[in-house]
């Protein structure tokens, strides 16, 4: 008969890994130096068997760690993400108000991204996880669902998976931005979008499509440029749109991130044009520098402080064994209108 996770013992793990019971204990408690190959073999055996160290054997450490895990991965040197910085601060502030702390750790977005989570579960150092920068069929979410370990995500992954998340409604946000441009009289509106592989990017792009369809304006494929999330990519995308014939060239552009919008504005300056006067530009995120650009950038402000607060409160409720009144939370962004979207363009 197959044992359940709570029935599997340290002896079973040792037998599966082909090591001594003491070695398993050393690995799980990090109490003695063990080779990386042996460590990985023990952790793999524990994961395969669904081993859960007993609360008594660990001195209640896992259940009383009062720590929530949150991971980062390495970024290019010229990349910054002030949205996630604010998200982390809000999480830490909310967690500390409830007597918890945030443990940050690194994970690789490639290969086996769930391994770092597995290590923390098996060594009992966290009570639950908060995930961000999720993507379609995110392997970390699938792993945590299969393990039955508490977590809440900032972002979606697969509509068929039942897991708790808080997300910003990018589709509704971008639709609002395009409707703002339509109300100013624009009819040729371009979109600088992320690649189709980006789940968040697909939601935001759909908002662009919705607004134009509601206005009975066909989406011209030449108005849409899909590219990476960098200033240089946004700049190149704007130059591509400017190369269109005048009668087809967009009079307004929505970029689905502020970083790309900044690149678009730089391209307009390079072409001797003025954002907001010659071509309107709208971004997404409302990063702190948006208000200081020339001209100041119209952008969609994400309710990041509220997201950070909600994910922590939801996770703590799960840890306490409570049912969540709402497992899928979508919060609307707010359009902040500044000079980059300009005046009427009838």
Q: What is the pLDDT of residues 134-189, one digit of tens each?
A: 999 999 999 999 989 999 999 999 999 999 999 999 999 999 999 999 999 999 99
Residue 121 covered by a domain: yes
CATH number, domain of 128, equals 3.40.50.2300
pLDDT higher for 118 or 251? 251
pTM: 0.81
Considering the domain architecture, whether residues 161 and 260 belong to the same structural domain is answered as no
pLDDT, position 257: 96
Considering the domain architecture, whether residues 163 and 187 belong to the same structural domain is answered as no
Instruction: Name the token pair of 240.
Output: 């591509």
Residue 39 covered by a domain: yes
pLDDT, position 57: 45
CA atoms of 10 and 117, how far apart (whole Å): 20
% pLDDT > 70, the chain: 90
Instruction: Name the token pair of 109.
Output: 């977005």
Q: What is the span of the domain harbouring residue 34?
A: 10-49
* Residue 259 C-beta-side C-alpha neighbours within 13 Å: 15
Residue 300, strand partner residues:
284, 335
Residue 55 covered by a domain: no
* Count of other CB atoms within 10 angstroms of residue 20: 10
Considering the domain architecture, whether residues 287 and 322 belong to the same structural domain is answered as no
Residue 333, strand partner residues:
none
Considering the domain architecture, whether residues 206 and 292 belong to the same structural domain is answered as yes
Pairing of strands 298-301, 334-336: antiparallel
Considering the domain architecture, whether residues 272 and 324 belong to the same structural domain is answered as no
Picking from 11-25, 42-56, 166-180, 273-287, which range would have the lowest pLDDT averaged per residue?
42-56
CA atoms of 131 and 216, how far apart (whole Å): 39
CA atoms of 142 and 75, how far apart (whole Å): 24
CA atoms of 130 and 153, how far apart (whole Å): 6
Mean pLDDT computed over 231-251: 97
The tally of domains found in the chain comes to 3
Residues 6+ apart with CB under 8 A from 258: 283, 284, 285, 286, 287, 289, 290, 297, 299
Considering the domain architecture, whether residues 194 and 298 belong to the same structural domain is answered as yes
% pLDDT > 90, the chain: 69
Considering the domain architecture, whether residues 190 and 294 belong to the same structural domain is answered as yes
CA atoms of 241 and 224, how far apart (whole Å): 8
Spatial CA neighbour of 132 closest among 162, 170, 104: 104
Residue 58 covered by a domain: no
pLDDT higher for 82 or 227? 227
pLDDT by residue (tens digit) across 275-314? 999 999 999 999 999 999 999 999 999 999 999 999 999 9
Residue 62 covered by a domain: no
Considering the domain architecture, whether residues 293 and 315 belong to the same structural domain is answered as no
> Could you give the dihedral angle defined by the CA atoms of residues 232, 233, 237 and 243, in that order, rounded to the nearest 10 degrees?
50
Instruction: Name the token pair of 195.
Output: 């690649």
Considering the domain architecture, whether residues 297 and 178 belong to the same structural domain is answered as yes
pLDDT over threshold 60, residue 346: no
pLDDT, position 254: 98
pLDDT over threshold 60, residue 56: no
pLDDT, position 23: 83
CA atoms of 346 and 339, how far apart (whole Å): 17
Considering the domain architecture, whether residues 247 and 296 belong to the same structural domain is answered as yes
Residue 272 covered by a domain: yes
Considering the domain architecture, whether residues 27 and 174 belong to the same structural domain is answered as no
Mean pLDDT computed over 189-202: 96
CA atoms of 144 and 117, how far apart (whole Å): 8
pLDDT over threshold 60, residue 126: yes
pLDDT higher for 142 or 77? 142
Considering the domain architecture, whether residues 259 and 325 belong to the same structural domain is answered as no
**First-to-last C-alpha distance (Å) of the chain:** 75
Residue 57 covered by a domain: no
């Amino acid at each position: 008969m197959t044992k359940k996770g709570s029935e599997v013992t340290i002896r079973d793990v040792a037998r599966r890994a082909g090591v001594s019971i003491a070695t398993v204990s050393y690995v799980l408690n990090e109490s003695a130096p063990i080779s990386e190959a042996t460590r990985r073999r023990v952790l793999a055996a524990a994961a395969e068997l669904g081993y859960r160290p007993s609360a008594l054997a660990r001195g209640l450490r896992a259940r009383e760690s009062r720590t929530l895990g949150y991971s980062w991965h390495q970024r290019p040197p010229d990349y910054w993400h002030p949205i996630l910085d604010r998200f982390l601060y809000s999480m830490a502030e909310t967690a500390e108000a409830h007597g918890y702390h945030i443990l940050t750790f690194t994970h690789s977005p490639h290969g086996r991204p769930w391994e770092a989570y597995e290590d923390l579960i098996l060594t009992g150092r966290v009570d639950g996880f908060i995930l961000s920068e999720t993507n379609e069929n995110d392997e970390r979410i699938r792993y945590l669902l299969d393990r039955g370990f508490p977590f809440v995500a900032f972002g979606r992954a697969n509509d068929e998976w039942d897991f708790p998340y808080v997300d910003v409604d990018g589709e509704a946000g971008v639709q609002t931005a395009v409707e703002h441009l339509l109300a100013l009289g624009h009819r040729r509106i371009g979109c600088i979008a992320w690649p189709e592989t980006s789940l968040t990017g697909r939601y935001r792009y759909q908002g662009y499509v919705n607004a134009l369809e509601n206005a009975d304006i066909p989406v011209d494929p030449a108005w849409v440029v899909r590219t990476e999330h960098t200033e240089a990519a946004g700049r190149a995308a704007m130059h591509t749109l400017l190369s269109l014939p005048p009668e087809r060239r967009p009079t307004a552009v929505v970029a689905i991130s502020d970083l790309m919008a900044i690149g678009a504005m730089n391209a307009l300056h390079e072409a001797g044009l003025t954002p907001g006067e010659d071509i309107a530009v709208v971004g997404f995120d409302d990063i702190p520098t948006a208000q200081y650009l020339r001209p100041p950038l119209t952008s969609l402000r994400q309710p990041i402080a509220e997201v950070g607060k909600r994910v922590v409160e939801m996770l703590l409720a799960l840890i306490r064994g409570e049912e969540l009144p709402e497992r899928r939370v979508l919060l609307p962004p707010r359009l902040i209108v500044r000079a980059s979207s300009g005046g009427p363009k009838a």
